[in-house]
A and B are shown apart, each in its own frame.
Chain A
Amino acid sequence: MSEFSLAALGLFAAVAPAGALPVFALLTGNADAVQRTRQASLIGLTAFALMAGTAALGDPFLDWLNISPENFQLAAGLVMLPLAVRLLWSGESMTLPREVERPQRRVWLTPLAVPLVASPASLVAALSYGTRFGLEPTLGATAFVLTLTALAFAAAPQLHRFLGTSGIGALARLTGGLLVVVAIELLVDGVQSV
């Protein structure tokens, strides 16, 4: 697999669009298609800014922390595992009340862009892949995954009709499984590095 594909797979698992979809649907329930598309775009752009910034600052950031990229990979694997377990267990990236009484403002920023999409797992994945594969494939993969995520958010009602709640839950659990694999791969790679 190419570096782009590996990074895209890992970032897709860490962002877990299927796990985030129910939260997005709950918090933007009253929005029309235009509002929804706008919010999805804002989420994608904000998350991209944060993840790209993290990936770009990777090496100096790790230098500042006095952490080698190899040890950081171990940490990234550890940070991803709780989200992977949550996805496998509940099929959602984040636990929210079942009903939101009053529509909140700027939900696209908090909690949707941060910490739902640009989660600790996504950020460590971006940083880890940035130091491991270089900036270009990581930024490309981040843009690709976040575009897919934004598209999924924008088409949330259609996806819900097509897949149903259980279908989306199953997809999220599959993503959780993938994230377990990605986390373990990072852990193993962290151990098996000079």
Chain B
Amino acid sequence: MLGRSALLSVAFWMAFVGVLRIAVVPPESCGDANRDAIADAAVAAKGWLQRNQGADGRYVYIYDYDTDTTSSDYNEVRHAGVTMALYQAAGRFQDAEALRAADAGLAWMSENLIRQDGWAALAPGGGRAKLGASALMLVALAERRLATAEPRHDDLMRELGRFIVALQRGDDGFYVAWLPADRSPQREGTSRFSPGEAFWALTLLHEAFPGEGWDGPARLAADFLTTRRDEVENVPFPPLADQWTAYGLAEMVEWGLDDHHVEYARRLAERFGFLIRMEAQRQGGSLGTLVRGGEIRAAAAGTWVEGMAALWRLASVDQRLADLRPKMKERLICAGGILAERQVSGEDAASYTQPDLVEGAWFVGGETRMDDQQHALSGLLYTVDALDDRVHREPDAPMTVGSP
């Protein structure tokens, strides 16, 4: 009788474990979670962006391998972001090809500037000048400056900075765009992410030109983002998973962060960690899709990795977040491994109609968009930094660049 009861107890415990495993907590899978696979994935993503750039400097926006078509749509904010990521890769890998591609992307942006009252803004066709586009163009230039140590775009950086400051609102947030036809900011509508982009751009501007006063508006933006943005934007489950703000805070850490900045950074790290953990538990099949929704874009997962990597850097300097560092690294390796595993390899790409548009890219529903490669590339580059315990973001040495 005792034997039967004991057997029942063991059976109960095993059933408990089984149900727990299958229904409640599926295992976490981190794909190719090793440094070399992650670094190779970054190189392959960079290759996609370089190969798929037109003569005018624009990149392939969307490619669908099911229909073998590219989209005629375009987005200047994402263009600036892709150019930024290529400059980051150029600096990291000392890669002249990446620099050339990024410079071509920069040339397209330079041809689409509007100028007024001492500022410059990216506004294709002279239309609406989105804050995010100019902010990321400024970040791209700052990355170029870090990669090459060349001052040739310093004046343009300041012009873009003045545009950002011109769009800063009284509550330290930002107007979403400038309307050239009205010669005024667009007062209707907001953007969840462009304030973070503007903030990061301002911090980089201060880093490039200390003593010029760019830290003032940057600090105001930091206070807005860390204390009021989520409320203003009606974010349902704050904090907004905003990697741009994470980048900005990581730049600002050297100047000294206030407690509310650090508290926000902690919550942001928790959010990125949660998102990465959930993604690691994603299982294929209809049950997995039912429980966790469809597979997410690399553009989304890449931003989590970017944000976590930036906060890892911050936590490496600010001891108030030092307790999070081991877990942050763990999540970075996992997310980097997931991205590496989901990227289309050269071998797999060979079976497609246009291998050059497939290799090194991430697809969801047969479609890839240029910012899938952009965010993944930036995230993977900085994951490698974390794996190498490389705290500083700038390249070790400037590249040698030919004459302009």
Contact = CB atoms under 8 A, between A and B. Distances in A.
A142 to B, nearest CB: 16
Contacts of A114: 8-9, 12-13
B273 A79 contact: no
Nearest to A105: B1
Main secondary structure of the interface of B (DSSP, over half): helix
B19 to A, nearest CB: 8
Interface residues of B, number: 30
A66 B27 CA distance: 5
B2 interface: yes
Contact of A106 (B5, B13, B274): B5
Interface string A124-143: 10000000000000000000
Contacts of B328: 194
A159 interface: no
Which residue of A68, A75, A113, A193 has the most chain B CB atoms within 10 A of its CB atom? A68
Contacts of A50: 9, 13
B20 A191 contact: no
Given A71-B281, A114-B9, A194-B273, A66 B324 contact: no
B28 A66 contact: yes
B291 interface: no
A128 B327 CA distance: 17
Interface in A71-88: 71-72, 74-75, 78-79
B21 interface: yes
Interface residues of A, number: 26
A123 interface: yes
A68 B20 contact: no
B20 A106 contact: no
Interface in A172-194: 191-194
Contacts of B290: none
Contacts of A9: none
B5 A194 contact: no
Contacts of B274: 70, 191-193
B24 interface: yes
A189 to B, nearest CB: 10
A157 interface: no
A109 B2 contact: yes
B267 A67 contact: no
Given A65-B27, A105-B1, A193 B270 contact: yes
Interface string B9-51: 1001100110011001101110000000000000000000000
22 contacts: A50-B13, A65-B21, A68-B277, A68-B330, A70-B274, A71-B277, A71-B281, A72-B25, A75-B24, A75-B25, A105-B1, A106-B2, A109-B2, A110-B5, A115-B12, A123-B13, A192-B270, A193-B274, A193-B327, A194-B270, A194-B272, A194-B331
Interface of A: 50, 65-68, 70-72, 74-75, 78-79, 105-106, 109-110, 113-115, 120, 123-124, 191-194
